[in-house]
Amino acid sequence: MNNLNLKKHISGQFNVELEEVLNQVLVMGGLVEQQLTDAITAIHTQDVELARSVVAKDQQVNYLEVDIDEDCTRIIAKRQPAASDLRLVLAIIKTITDLERIGDVAKRIGMMVVDNANKKQPPLVSMENMGHRTVKMLHASLDAFARMDVAAAIEVHKEDNKVDREYESIIRELMTFMMEDPRSIPHVLNVLWCARSLERVGDRVQNICEYIIYFVKGKDVRHRSDEDIYNLLDPKG
C-alpha cells in the first residue's frame, strides 16, 4: 500500500486504519476475481462441483463487504475525514458494492450450471472468451486500485467496448442456435441472461476505474465517454 503515498496524518493510527481497509478491499477483490474465474470455467466445462463451490464462496464475499463497510463508517465517524481522505473512503465504499455485485453474478452463473446439468448446451466458445476478458478487466482494475494508477484505470475503462462487441456477437450466435433448434429456447434464454450479466460485469469494472479517477483527481467522470475522460484529465486539454 505504500505505492498509494497516503497522506501522513497527525494520528499514525489513521494511516494504519486506511491501509488495513485498503488491504481488505484487495482481499475481497481477489476472492471475487477467483469466483468469477471459476464460474466462467464451470459454465464452459459444465463442472457442477466447481459451480457449487462458486455459490458457496459468495457468503464470504458478502461478509467482507459488510466488514469493510462498517470499518469505513467507523472511520468517517471517528476521524471525520476531509478532502482526499474522504474521497478515498467513498471510493472504497462504492468499490466494494460493485465487487459484491460481480460476486452475485458469479454465484448466479454457478447456480445456472447446477440447475442445467446434463441438458443440451448451445456453443459457448464466445461466452468463454467474453468471460475471460471480463476477468482480465477485473484483475487489471484491482491492480490499478492497489496503485491508484489513473492511466491504468483509463486503459481498463476502454476495454469495456470490446466486451460490448463480444456481447452483441453472442446474441447473434444464440439467436441462430434457437432458430435451428426451437427446443433449446428455454435453456438459451438462461445463457442470454448469463451473457448480459457478464456484460454488466464489464460495466461494474468501469465503475471501479472511475472511482480511482475520482480519488486521485477529485473529478467525477461517471457517464462520460473514454474520449471525454481522457480530455478532461489531459493537462494540455
Is position 121 within any domain?
Answer: yes
**96 found inside a domain:** yes
If pLDDT is split at 50, 70 and 90, which confidence band does 1 have? very low
Establish if 66 belongs to a structural domain: yes
Q: Is residue 237 predicted with pLDDT exceeding 50?
A: no
What is the SS3 assignment for the chain?
Answer: CHHHCCCCCCCHHHHHHHHHHHHHHHHHHHHHHHHHHHHHHHHHHCCHHHHHHHHHHHHHHHHHHHHHHHHHHHHHHHHCCCHHHHHHHHHHHHHHHHHHHHHHHHHHHHHHHHHCCCCCCCCCHHHHHHHHHHHHHHHHHHHHHHHCCHHHHHHHHHHHHHHHHHHHHHHHHHHHHHHHCHHHHHHHHHHHHHHHHHHHHHHHHHHHHHHHHHHHHCCCCCCCCHHHHHHHHCCCC
**Count of structural domains, the chain:** 1
What pLDDT does 225 receive?
81
- Note the pLDDT tens digit of each residue in 195-205: 999 999 999 99
pLDDT reported for residue 2: 45
Domain that holds residue 78: 7-233
Choose between 61 and 175: higher pLDDT.
61
* Mean pLDDT of the 29-43 span: 96
2 within a domain of the structure (yes/no): no
What average pLDDT does the chain have?
A: 89
Whole-model pTM above 0.85?
A: yes
Whether residue 52 is contained in a domain is answered as yes
| CATH number for the domain harbouring residue 116 | 1.20.58.220
